[in-house]
């Protein structure tokens, strides 16, 4: 199964392909009062949605320095009068004169925008952006505080993460074991969540964002989306091109790709990343990967094979099977500044202690030391993807996919296979199909790609920028996942100038 790792969000120069002539400006959406009934703010909406767009919003002090609110949105946009669900948001007020609100999504699907603002706002946004804008984080439908998907208890999730399949199982036996676990999980989610499970797709979440936009009083949406957040933002732009204000999509997903194509792209990306990591490590005297890069990667593969044959036991007594071990290994590859942490965890594991690797896996799964899970990100990740993507579950096709994945990524490919089995028994069928998103008529949208991004390969950002009618491509030549907040002054200044002054970067700018 593919491991869902959290995005872990410095300065060098930048180079423009076409210097100068980048003074085009786009308007920032602004408004006066939350919950305003001003038609210019609400926009053209169906009459049966009016109550949602004009509901009274009560912001209350929360989390010491923020304000929080909960709003209502329709469970089913095709039948808005049927039932409502709740979306919880947190706002950081601008430190200066506010130009409006920037909505933030950290990715996933299943990532908590509430937590990213509460815990990491100074890391993922600049002082200058926070001076000029209110920053609003929200949990999308089904996530954490917003009518959450309910599948695992904390104890059940711990148990699942310690489960391992026999290393000597035949292919038929392995398929049967994975399918049985998938059926049990799907049944658990359906029983504990109910019909909400069928309405957490990305298109519905994007429509929720438009209600949030109106309720903060902005006539157009200003938005900063990372990773899966780019899919959410591009979907919004395609649904409401006339309401696009200033959108930055960082670490983009190509919406035209199938689930299988996305998995293959990530396999290639993480294989390239592990080679870059080993090459970097080998510049240090005490690196545990002797010889060539191939030799070093081979040692990692041998370590994975050893854990697959015989799961390890951490200091707290928990078993660490290879799936959890690999999840921990993958997390530091999201940010090259964390590569030394990964090296230390590998050195410990080579000496028989997987505790550091389990710690990294716990960070990825958002497990706190007391055994509780901070969010429901694992369940939400699967629930959204099962609605967003039709997935192959035929054994013949799955075997062919595994062969392709292993060929593309000898290190990680086998651990990314058979993901389609998870959604095969899902209680609700997919409601979306992969397709290009054009957002015809939208204001300029900035798409940022990182050349060494393992999770959302650079080619995906290029593809999205080309699909969007008004897409503007910006490149950061660096390692790790996403750019703004962790790259350099060039990226930060381009993004801030765009949000604050409306200055659109030159298409093709490289930092």
- The answer to whether residue 453 is catalytic is yes
Structure tokens at 69: 């609110």
Distance CA 378, CA 364 (A): 10
Residue 292, number of CB atoms within 10 A of its CB: 12
Rounded (5°) CA angle 294-299-304: 125
> Which residue, 453, 5, 470, is CA-closest to 252?
453
Query: Helix 171-193 and helix 154-161: axis angle, to 10°?
Result: 170
Element holding 130 (H helix, E strand): helix 127-132
- Which DSSP symbol is given to 473? E
Beginning with the edge strand found earlier in the chain, give each strand of the sheet holding 84-92 in spatial order: 60-62, 66-74, 84-92, 134-138, 101-105, 221-226, 244-250, 445-452, 471-479, 509-510
Cα dihedral 478→480→484→485 (10° resolution): -110
Out of 227, 323, 364, 377, the active site residue is 227
Residue 307, number of CB atoms within 10 A of its CB: 23
Out of 134, 250, 481, 487, the active site residue is 481
Out of 453, 470, 487, 496, the active site residue is 453
- The answer to whether residue 227 is catalytic is yes
- Residue located via tokens 């999980």: 185
Q: How far is CA 4 from CA 364, 380, 468, in A?
A: 7, 11, 27
Distance CA 337, CA 333 (A): 9
- Which DSSP symbol is given to 15? B
DSSP 395-407: HHHHHHHHHHHHH
DSSP 303-348: HHHHHHHS-EE-TTS-EE-HHHHHHHHHGGGG-GGGHHHHHHHHHH
Burial environment of residue 155 by CB neighbours within 10 A (0 to 12, 13 to 18, 19 or more): exposed
Q: Residues with catalytic annotation?
A: 227, 453, 481
């Amino acid at each position: 199964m593919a491991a869902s790792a959290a995005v872990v969000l410095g300065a060098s120069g930048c180079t423009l392909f076409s210097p100068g002539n980048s003074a085009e400006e786009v308007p920032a959406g602004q408004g006066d009062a939350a919950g305003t009934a001003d038609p210019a703010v609400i926009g053209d909406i169906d009459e049966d949605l009016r109550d949602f767009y004009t509901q009274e919003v009560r912001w209350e002090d929360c989390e010491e320095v923020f304000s929080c609110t909960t709003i209502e949105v329709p469970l089913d946009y095709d039948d808005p009068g049927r039932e409502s669900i709740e979306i919880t948001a947190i706002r950081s007020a601008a430190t200066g004169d506010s130009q409006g609100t920037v909505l933030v999504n950290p990715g996933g699907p299943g990532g908590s925008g509430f937590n990213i603002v509460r815990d990491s706002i100074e890391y993922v946004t600049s002082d200058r952006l926070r001076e000029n804008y209110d920053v609003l984080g929200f949990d999308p439908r089904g996530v954490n505080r917003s009518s959450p998907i309910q599948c695992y208890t904390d104890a059940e999730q711990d148990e699942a993460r310690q489960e391992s399949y026999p290393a000597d199982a035949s292919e038929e036996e392995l398929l049967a074991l994975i399918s049985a676990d998938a059926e049990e999980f799907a049944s658990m989610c359906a029983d504990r969540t109910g019909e909400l499970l069928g309405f957490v797709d990305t298109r519905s979440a994007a429509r929720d964002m438009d209600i949030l936009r109106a309720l903060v009083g902005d006539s157009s949406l200003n938005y900063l989306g990372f990773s899966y957040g780019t899919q959410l933002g591009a979907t919004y732009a395609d649904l409401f091109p006339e309401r696009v204000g200033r959108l930055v999509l960082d670490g983009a997903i190509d919406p035209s790709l199938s689930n299988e194509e996305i998995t293959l792209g990530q396999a290639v990306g993480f294989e390239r990343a592990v080679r870059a990591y080993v090459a970097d490590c080998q510049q240090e005297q005490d690196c545990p990967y002797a010889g060539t890069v191939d030799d070093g990667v081979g040692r990692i593969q041998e370590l994975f094979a050893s854990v697959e044959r015989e799961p390890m036991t951490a200091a707290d007594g928990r078993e660490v099977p290879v799936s959890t071990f690999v999840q921990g290994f993958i997390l530091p590859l999201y940010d090259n500044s964390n590569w030394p942490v990964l090296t230390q965890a590998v050195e410990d594991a080579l000496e028989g202690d997987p505790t550091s690797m389990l710690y990294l896996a716990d960070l990825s799964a958002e497990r706190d030391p007391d055994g509780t899970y901070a969010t429901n990100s694992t369940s939400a990740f699967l629930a959204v993807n099962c609605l967003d993507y039709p997935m192959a579950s035929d054994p013949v096709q799955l075997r062919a996919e595994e062969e392709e994945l292993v060929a593309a990524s000898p290190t990680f490919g086998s651990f990314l296979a058979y993901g389609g089995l998870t959604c095969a028994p899902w209680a609700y069928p997919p409601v979306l199909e992969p397709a290009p998103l054009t957002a015809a008529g939208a204001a300029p949208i900035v798409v940022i790609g990182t050349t060494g991004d393992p999770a959302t390969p650079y080619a995906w950002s290029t593809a999205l920028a080309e699909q969007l009618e008004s897409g503007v491509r910006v490149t950061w030549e660096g390692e790790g996942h996403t750019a703004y907040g962790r790259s350099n002054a060039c990226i930060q200044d381009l993004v801030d100038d765009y949000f604050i002054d409306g200055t659109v970067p030159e298409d093709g700018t490289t930092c």
